[in-house]
Amino acid sequence: MSTKVAVVTGSNKGIGLAIVRALCKEFQGDVYITARDVGRGQEAVKSLNSEELKPMFHQLDINDLNSITAAAAFFKDKYGGVDVLVNNAGIAFKVADTTPFDVQAEVTLKTNIFATRDMLTHFMPIIKAGGRVVNVSSVVGSRTLNKCSAALQQRFRSEDITEEELMGLMQQFVDLTKKNQHKQGGWPEAAYGVSKTGLTTLSMILARRLSRERPNDGILLNACCPGWVRTDMAGDKAPKSPDEGAITPVYLALLPPGATEPHGKFVSEKEVQPW
Ligand SMILES: NC(=O)c1ccc[n+]([C@@H]2O[C@H](COP(=O)([O-])OP(=O)(O)OC[C@H]3O[C@@H](n4cnc5c(N)ncnc54)[C@H](OP(=O)(O)O)[C@@H]3O)[C@@H](O)[C@H]2O)c1
């Protein structure tokens, strides 16, 4: 049988690195740290080597389409596809950051939703039967959903929203912030939150598509929240360590063979959450 492989985006530090640490211990196969910066990625490999763990490394900048397609081709060629994909890479402006809101909106959505969508576009076709896909979203996305207009909430919760409609809505938010009209458009003042509302919705759309188009492949795809975790993004006051933050994403990445659920859900503390 060919070697299995797990790939974690943005895993040179924080929750991503902790996910790789746990997968090195629990996943039967090769586990890849990926990072946009080769030096930071190799340092992360060394840090796990000092714990007697042996992750592998591949460069992957999710904002660079060439980097995404090169990585997808590498995993297809070397492993015949990917068994576990964790889309963890993400960014957030600090609360105190004075960058204009429209710029925050554009930059945050570029990585957290548009680039993650590019990852999924190029990696979903190479996810192997029995594969697991985990999108690291946030409970902030659920709270932000509840702050959207009733009309937007209805679309994000509907079973018939398409990927194209969702991406159109995400772009509409970015465009409206440039005219300072996002509030009239039914959007809250929350760039990170909207990006994660989008990522959770995208996860639900893609899970429904998997069920339709690959019903016999047993692939499970979910979004999750790691909790509030001490990382460069969230700061040192958060209650959870990165290893604790990795627990729910790793649980979803390692759902046992033959499991049929959760699928297309938003999961936190290993429990399916309302949407
Ligand atoms: N920490 C929390 O409390 C919390 C709560 C809910 C959800 N989350 C989510 O959990 C995920 C991980 O966050 P974290 O707290 O571990 O943050 P972090 O410590 O800031 O780590 C973010 C990781 O993403 C990488 N990254 C950013 N842009 C990238 C790109 N274009 N291509 C590839 N990698 C990229 C970063 O790489 P560089 O080192 O090169 O910047 C870094 O490795 C994020 O999706 C975040 O939204 C976090």
Task: Give distance in angstroms: CA of 130 to centre of ligand 1.
Answer: 27
Q: What is the pLDDT of residue 2?
A: 84
E-strand spans in 27-183? 30-35, 56-59, 82-87, 127-136
Q: Distance between CA 114 and CA 191 in Å, rounded?
A: 13
Helix intervals (H) in 158-190: 163-178
Residues with CB under 6 A from ligand 1: 9-10, 12-16, 35-37, 40, 61-63, 88-92, 111, 115, 136, 138, 225-226, 228-229, 231-234, 238
Q: What is the pLDDT of residue 165?
A: 98
- What stretches in the chain show pLDDT beneath 50? none
Pocket test for ligand 1, best of 91, 142, 199 (most atoms within 8 A of CB): 91
| Nearest residue by C-alpha to atom 11 in ligand 1 | 88
Q: What is the pLDDT of residue 1?
A: 57
- Ligand 1 atom closest to Cα of residue 229: 3
Q: What is the pLDDT of residue 49?
A: 98
* CATH topology for the 5-272 domain: Rossmann fold (3.40.50)
Q: Domain boundaries in the chain? A: 5-272
Q: Is the dihedral of CA 14, 117, 224, 19 positive or negative?
A: negative
Q: Distance between CA 263 and CA 75 in Å, rounded?
A: 24
**Residues in CB range of 127: below 8 A, 6 or more apart:** 81, 82, 83, 85, 133, 219
pTM score: 0.99
Q: What is the pLDDT of residue 36?
A: 98
